[in-house]
Structure 1
């Protein structure tokens, strides 16, 4: 006779559904034996592994298949949890979804405690993390060498909002579900970080000035497409730029020529607007020829006020 559907099965019966638990138990035991600091650690058995299994159906909120306390102690459960865990592959952002809703709450409170001013900066940063994770990055040029990469909008060092980042092909910034980068900006997810973060700010438009905010960016983000998109949405920007940013082709050629011959004197400046006059493209000679774009400033330090 079949068991009634309302009877919770013994956890060890689950072994008939997945006959390859032995290698998993051996792998978890290997890690525990090598790294477990407690002398009470003992190898994980297949029977314990099956008892440890739980239901991860979040929609039904079923909880555990069984009362785990009737099969092992809390101390043993926590010891196994260090080296063996069962989670569903629901999306590529499962790592950072675990931070919700605390992550969203912290960002909301950050914006309540600090009213953003006109000038804001967007940049990447690192959050230190040295444990095991597929999403940690190692960037030797950063003060924090290993950790999680974040995209941040800030004022005077105060973080107003941020995005987590996953490494690997097809990954990148973790936008809110349903968010799509603006088509006008192309398919560059890095540049899309900028309008995504700035739209979270709530500063009212000053009648005496054209823009809600002026963003200060580095050449990781800056391009003519981004500058024009922000300008249409009442946000100015200024920042350094790369040769592939859409900057004036004559400036790009000057940089190539100077790299070969070093003929441009130190502190020499070049400046030219785009055809529509909305983006000011600049270059000045430091150790090399450095590019810059702005919808709000000139090389003379003047603030552009459009009527």
Structure 2
């Protein structure tokens, strides 16, 4: 198709009435977004491994909703919280930047009982994406069938306990902040230089439903999980798998923590906790979506603030 012909068609692409007004670009594509969300789950039956992460719809124009995340492949644009499986997006939430804003249309009434914990908006993202319901009130992802992998941006012990209570397993890395075993946090913040590579320590949460761990890799990794052998039971913390590991670059400056495990070998077959290995395999479901999307990117400028969202959905 010629460029001129494409522009003639593109100028008439709308997903709402032309004379409608909206407070944000998200309202302009909302009806289309809901339609695609419904059809996605009708046409795609995901496996048990799901991943929650953030994605960026590239836009460098003027809009109060755009964010800049320099570590992302697409650093500037609209942020979308995404639930994906094998690179296929199944559920999502738009994000509005600014004080008092955040994930758009968060539903705080998902729990069947009134004891839902008071989560922050960021903690509520996995809860909303995983426990979302259709128009008939049925869970989009039925309990007891799915495992959710996310990173330290979302993970807190109360959030993991709540998802476990609702029948969704969850695991991921954890920041060295409050609401985590204090002894394990001190291993990371004060005693990491004393731990040899591969050392691991474990502790259960207060309600005995979440396993907390500290494992020495190139740095001390804090981890929390409600899974055991990819099932919805608590990890024992003793299962290891053999994987090829590369000696960390830090070993050239501080040999002692890595000498016993690696010796002089740059790569070696070593045992790592199974929960860490599973996380490494499944944490990149959203990254696969970004990778596939990058194959079909264009340099076409978008003048209207809602157009990047339209083409992301399409």
- Shorter chain as denominator, the TM-score bin is 0.5 to 0.7
Task: Tell me the TM-score normalized by structure 1.
Answer: 0.62
Of 101, 109, 128, 1:171 maps to 101
Structure 1 CA distance for aligned equivalents of residues 25 and 164 of structure 2: 35
Asked if 1 retains the 8 angstrom alpha-carbon contact of 2:51 and 2:149, the reply is: yes
In structure 2, the CA distance between the partners of 1:275 and 1:100, relative to structure 1 (3 Å rule), is closer
Shift of 1:132: 2.3
**Corresponding residue for 1:125?**
55
Asked if 2 retains the 8 angstrom alpha-carbon contact of 1:185 and 1:192, the reply is: no
After TM superposition, the structure 1 = structure 2 runs for residues 87-102 of structure 1, keeping only pairs within 5 Å, are 94-102=24-32
Structure 1 regions of 5+ residues with no counterpart? 1-77, 79-85, 206-210
Structure 2 regions of 5+ residues with no counterpart? 1-10, 12-18, 133-138, 229-234, 241-273, 276-314
Larger Rg: 1
Structure 2 CA distance for aligned equivalents of residues 108 and 245 of structure 1: 38
Which aligned segments of 4 or more residues in structure 1 are displaced greater than 2 angstroms?
Answer: 178-187, 200-205
Q: Which has the higher contact order (CA 8 A, sep 6+)?
A: 2
Task: Tell me the TM-score normalized by structure 2.
Answer: 0.61
Deviation digits for residues 241-279 of structure 1 (CA, Å, limit 9, x no counterpart): 1122512111111222225xx111111111121233210
Of 140, 160, 176, 1:202 maps to 140
Aligned residues: 210
After TM superposition, the structure 1 = structure 2 runs for residues 116-265 of structure 1, keeping only pairs within 5 Å, are 116-175=46-105, 179=108, 184-200=116-132, 202-205=140-143, 211-244=144-177, 246-259=179-192, 262-265=193-196
Asked if 1 retains the 8 angstrom alpha-carbon contact of 2:149 and 2:170, the reply is: yes
In structure 2, the CA distance between the partners of 1:193 and 1:109, relative to structure 1 (3 Å rule), is same
Secondary structure, counterpart of 1:160 in structure 2? strand
Shift of 1:181: 7.8
**Corresponding residue for 2:34?**
104
Structure 2 CA distance for aligned equivalents of residues 150 and 203 of structure 1: 20
Shift of 1:185: 3.3
Shift of 1:115: 1.2
Shift of 1:184: 3.6
Shift of 1:179: 4.5
Structure 1 CA distance for aligned equivalents of residues 118 and 142 of structure 2: 28
